[in-house]
Amino acid sequence: MIIPGKYLLFLGNVAERLDAKTACGLVDWAPERCVGQWRLPSCGIDLGLKDMSFAEARAAGAATLVIGVTPFGGAIAREWIAPIVEALGAGLNVASGMHARLGNVPEIAAAAKTSGASLFDVRAPGASYPVGTGAKRSGRRMLMVGTDCAVGKKYTALAIARDMAAHGMTATFRATGQTGILIAGEGVPIDAIVSDFVAGAAEALSPDNDPGHWDVIEGQGSLFHPAYAGVALGLLHGSQPDAIIACHAAGRTHIDGYPDFILPDLERCIEVNLGMARLTNPDVRCAGVSINTSRLPASDRAAHLRRIEDRLMLPCFDPVATGAEALATYIAANFD
């Protein structure tokens, strides 16, 4: 799947940045492709991009309207249909990473047929995958795991791959979600794979490679999430990681949207993930801890990270605020 041109980011009517993580990820990691944003009047967030009409976006070089929001359940809201139809009429393609398929909405399908524009469902698997084999593969793999969803697993993987490359190591970011695929241009939408084949899809995502090469794999879900533990486990087994990175959002106390489910501490998160990962790689280790400190005062960040690092005796970093250079140094020294 090759999605053409630059992007106009569709924000709809979301109220929180957490609900617009696809758009935020594109702005942070592929800013050269983002020409503007489009919002309904009730939208509660601003990405700092220029608000554009569909015609203005076309004139500015945009070729595709990207649905930049990820509502719970992945449905296309009724109030989005009219503007999506209008965008198609203006000549923009439309790309979506939601579970609902664009072409299954009759008005959208008809508008695309009339305009000749294309619809891209990024979360639609582009291939069929076998069941996992558990067979040992050459090369190295690092998987992001988390105490919850939306704690920074994608940002962590992107930062690690970037900083490992800057450190002179060979590393490739492997996308497993819609935003990562839009950034990288390739990947596997793991949470859209039939459950029996998740491990096999993860094996295909990170095939045999050179002995010193690292696949840095974006995580999905969490083993502690009441809805999304399944995808996390299949990805863990199929990735066969040599190293895991535990990811957490500072200040969060319970599973987002599930107030009755208290988050595990980092020690418990690491222990459970290592225990499950040993099924396919008995030698797996935790190599570091990534903390999203965006909710902390900037003046508290360094001390917060230092306390966790001293407690766990592992490099601890914020992928946005500090980068992952310390993790890259640790990997170079401790994984031969």
- The per-residue pLDDT for 166 is 96
**Residue 120 contacts residue 94 (beta carbons within 8 Å):** yes
Say how many CA atoms lie within 13 Å of 181 toward its Cβ: 26
Residues 59, 86 contacting (CB under 8 angstroms): no
Q: What is the pLDDT of residues 199-237, one digit of tens each?
A: 999 999 999 999 999 999 999 999 999 999 999 999 999
CA dihedral 267→270→273→276, nearest 10 degrees, is -80
Alpha helices by DSSP H, 151-265: 153-166, 178-184, 198-205, 229-239
Dihedral of CA atoms 200, 291, 67, 128 in degrees, nearest 10, equals 0
Per-residue pLDDT of the chain (336 residues; tens, 9 = 90+): 578 789 999 999 888 887 898 999 999 999 999 999 999 999 989 999 999 999 999 999 999 999 999 776 667 889 999 999 999 999 999 999 888 899 999 999 999 999 999 999 998 887 899 999 999 999 999 999 999 999 999 999 999 999 999 999 999 999 999 899 989 888 999 999 999 999 999 999 999 999 999 999 999 999 999 999 999 999 999 999 999 999 999 999 999 999 999 999 999 999 999 999 999 999 999 999 999 999 999 999 999 999 999 999 999 999 999 999 999 999 999 997
* pLDDT value for 276: 98
C-alpha to C-alpha distance for 188 and 290, rounded to whole angstroms: 23
Closest CA to 43 of 75, 72, 71: 71
CA atoms of 2 and 194, how far apart (whole Å)? 23
Helix axes 298-312, 266-277, angle to 10 degrees: 50
Q: Long-range CB contacts (< 8 A, 24+ apart) of 24-28? A: 24/68, 25/154, 25/155, 25/179, 25/180, 25/182, 25/183, 26/66, 26/68, 26/179, 26/182, 26/183, 28/155, 28/320
- Residue 68 is predicted with a pLDDT of 92
- What angle do helix axes 153-166 and 21-29 make, rounded to 10 degrees? 10
Please choose, from the candidates 301, 311, 305, the residue with its C-alpha nearest in 3D space to the C-alpha of residue 326. Answer: 305
Q: What's the pLDDT at 336?
A: 78
pTM above 0.85, yes or no: yes
Q: What is the pLDDT of residue 70?
A: 79
Can you list the domains of the chain with their CATH numbers?
Answer: 6-121 (3.40.50.720), 140-334 (3.40.50.300)
pLDDT value of position 96: 92
Amino acid found at 277:
A
Q: Which has the closest alpha carbon to 244: 323, 139, 137, 142?
A: 142
Task: Centre a 10 Å sphere on the Cβ of residue 207 and count the other Cβ atoms it contains.
Answer: 10
